[in-house]
Chains A and B, each alone.
Chain A
Amino acid sequence: MSELGGAGGGWTGAVRRRAVRALPPDKLLPDTQPAYMASWIYVFGVLTLAALIVVLATGGVLALKGPAWWHVSGTGKYVNGLHLWSVELFMFFMVIHLWGKFFMAAWRGRRALTWVTGTVCFFASIGTAFTGYLVQQNFDSQWIAGQAKDGLNSVGIGAFFNVLDFGQMLMWHIVLLPFVLGLLTAWHILLVRRHGIVPPIDATDPAAVTTGEAAR
């Protein structure tokens, strides 16, 4: 059996060594953070994540129970409301997180990929929310689909992304887009763990000090 840092062990050993090198346990689950993190603006990332967990949990229940339940029963309406308002809070927190990171130039110090994955998460979230409007199974969703199809047809993608096709939109909303969003979110968080929380513009970056890299 090879040691953690040694060679050998086949592809599983190589993957393990690479994973541990990229994300050692003290970086993956840190127990301290730099002093500059003691600001409310650093809270909005985890608030976004907390809202996303509620969105996924309530969406899972809605998917299992179906439209007849969420439109008619009291509990169904309540869970439907939870799903709506957790999405509202998710978007609310995510936009404030985005503003904070934009004005902090959060792509500094080799954090460009963290910024890019966050940006793609934002656009994937908009797509997920819009397909959610389409699967409400009410007059509102019919009207939105009727309006959206004209715009999508005008840019030539209506044949592939047919907003009038409920089954297709349901699959986008509850399978494809949440899967992409979940993967991107996990990648984004692992990148934050790997490179550390971005420092304010006039602060010293502990990650740059320990690795000898200057914050760019």
Chain B
Amino acid sequence: MTGHPHSVERVLSAPIDLNGTGHYVHWGVVQLSVANLLVIGVMLIVFAAALLLPFPRRRGRQ
């Protein structure tokens, strides 16, 4: 085998360590995991991008 034995695993592994307890944020009775908060944030970004980015048009299409 060439190269470092753990190099492939390192490339394929998650960019952050997932082998631990989750992180949570609290607002009163509301408890939300940081992972879910990130997904909601990405959804908002994708929603804004879908509204703002120009849609490619085929020539001659009405």
Contact = CB atoms under 8 A, between A and B. Distances in A.
B62 A96 contact: no
Given A92-B39, A96-B43, A41 B50 contact: yes
Contacts of B39: 92
Contacts of B49: 40
A100 B50 CA distance: 9
B53 interface: yes
Given A32-B62, A92-B39, A38 B55 contact: yes
A35 B57 CA distance: 10
A95 B47 CA distance: 9
Nearest to B53: A40
Contacts of B50: 39-41, 43-44, 96, 100
How would you classify the secondary structure of chain B's contact residues: helix, strand, loop or mixed? helix
Contacts of A78: none
Interface string A93-106: 00110011000000
Contact of A96 (B46, B53, B55, B57): B46
Interface residues of A, number: 13
A38 B57 contact: yes
Contacts of B53: 40
B30 to A, nearest CB: 17
Contacts of A99: 47
B51 interface: yes
A41 B51 CA distance: 6
Interface in B4-62: 39, 42-43, 46-47, 49-51, 53, 55, 57, 61-62
Nearest to A92: B43
B57 to A, nearest CB: 6
Interface of B: 39, 42-43, 46-47, 49-51, 53, 55, 57, 61-62
Interface of A: 32, 35, 38-41, 43-44, 92, 95-96, 99-100
